[in-house]
Amino acid sequence: MAPSQQAKSLKSVRGLLAGLAAGLCLLGGVTEANAQAPAKQPPAAPQTSPQAAPQAVPGFWDPRRRPERPDLSRLTVIRFLTETDYPPFNFTGADGNPAGFNVDFARALCEEIKVTCTVQMRRFETLIDALTSNRGDAIIASMAVSPQLRARVDFTDPYYRVPARFVSRKDAVMPEIRPEYLEGKKVGAIAGSAHEAYLKAMFTDAELHAYPNDDAMRAALRRGEVDFIFGDAISLAFWINGTDSADCCAFSGGPFVESRFFGEGIGIAVRKGNDVLRQALNWAMFRIWEKGRYTDLWLRYFSVSPF
């Protein structure tokens, strides 16, 4: 699989994700015992219901590891590249300009660094080539960090992760989920996904049902053909609280995040060796989080918590 296809695949499933029960983080960092990855089945921003769960805002920066302010004098402009259609992270706004969580985060980074910022939208599979051929300086497009991509580009620290979670029908919600609790239970996952691999490795006594796509898996839960489904928590959060679910279902247990299954997180890609820009972005990300601006941005786009 080509590196760009690998990235798209990781993004689609939101990486390789899964872990042992996971650290719910309210602004303090997700534990490595549970890490993540993104999903190229975008949480297509459906309408949310009035009963949206209270928001928990994750933090991916350690306050004890404050980065030193780098020399920013060599930066005058940052040309960000992003994807064309991956709401709510990237999409075309009503005014025809780039919009979304990634776009607003990029602009906040430029404000913090105090440089001019441009954002160009491209098809996801063209982003790496555009960066390496100097048609942009940084990719901010929900790109999952992977060893394959690290061979071509450098990455900043993660600016978000995507937890995996179980969903059940509302009349069967479990506050906590452990492997022994799901013995004999029917659990759905997307065939070939990291979520399926995690279930096979960790929930060996559950009855695994594989589905070709999200729609088929979610329909099976609604019809009662499975007791739980397990997948990308961001897309599941939008589905649970959107009209397509018909208010059938809810999260069971907490988030699962483990890098061994779900990758290193979502980073900003820069050209190999561009340490000046990479360090500037790392410093600016920490500052934005420290000032509470990351929390404000997260709540603007994610009224329903995937954590």
What does each C-alpha distance from 45 to 2, 12, 32, 239 come to in angstroms? 29, 16, 28, 9
The answer on 94 and 19 residing in a single domain is: yes
The answer as to whether 198 is a domain residue is yes
End-to-end CA distance of the chain: give it in Å, rounded.
Answer: 31
The answer on 132 and 101 residing in a single domain is: yes
What pLDDT does 49 receive?
Answer: 38
Domain total of the chain: 2
Both structure tokens of 33: 């015992």
The answer on 244 and 192 residing in a single domain is: yes
The answer as to whether 192 is a domain residue is yes
Specify whether the CB–CB gap between 38 and 11 falls below 8 A: yes
CB atoms within 10 A of CB 292: 11
What pLDDT does 27 receive?
Answer: 32
The answer on 25 and 63 residing in a single domain is: yes
Residue 194 CB partners (closer than 8 Å, separation 6+): 13, 15, 16, 17, 18, 37, 164, 261, 262
- Determine the distance from the C-alpha atom of residue 250 to the mean position of all C-alpha atoms in its chain, rounded to a whole number: 19
Name the residue with tokens 């919600």. Answer: 173
The answer as to whether 306 is a domain residue is no
The answer on 147 and 292 residing in a single domain is: yes
Residue 90 to residue 207: CA distance in whole angstroms: 36
Residue 57 CB partners (closer than 8 Å, separation 6+): 26, 27, 294, 295, 298, 299, 305
Residue 279 three-state SS = helix
The answer as to whether 90 is a domain residue is yes
The answer as to whether 240 is a domain residue is yes
The answer on 292 and 209 residing in a single domain is: no
Q: What are phi and psi of 152, to 5 degrees?
A: -110, -30
Residue 163 to residue 292: CA distance in whole angstroms: 22
What pLDDT does 56 receive?
Answer: 59
The answer on 180 and 128 residing in a single domain is: no
What pLDDT does 58 receive?
Answer: 67
The answer as to whether 307 is a domain residue is no
Query: What are 165's strand-pairing partners?
Result: 231
The answer on 121 and 92 residing in a single domain is: yes
Q: What are phi and psi of 236, to 5 degrees?
A: -65, -35
The answer on 236 and 124 residing in a single domain is: no
The answer on 153 and 10 residing in a single domain is: yes
The answer on 111 and 66 residing in a single domain is: yes
Its domain, for residue 173, covers 164-259
- What CATH number does residue 235 fall under? 3.40.190.10
The answer on 45 and 118 residing in a single domain is: yes
What does each C-alpha distance from 255 to 23, 31, 51, 238 come to in angstroms? 7, 11, 20, 15
How does pLDDT run along the chain (307 residues), one tens digit per residue? Answer: 444 444 444 444 333 333 333 333 333 333 333 333 333 334 444 333 334 444 557 677 888 888 989 999 989 999 999 999 999 999 999 999 999 999 999 999 999 999 999 999 999 999 999 999 999 999 999 999 989 999 999 999 999 988 899 999 999 999 999 999 999 999 999 999 999 999 999 999 999 999 999 999 999 999 999 999 999 998 999 899 889 999 999 999 988 988 888 878 899 999 999 999 999 999 999 999 999 999 999 989 887 778 7
What pLDDT does 55 receive?
Answer: 57
What pLDDT does 62 receive?
Answer: 83
Both structure tokens of 223: 């019809």
* CA-based nearest residue to 257, from 6, 8, 24, 11: 24
Residue 66 to residue 189: CA distance in whole angstroms: 39
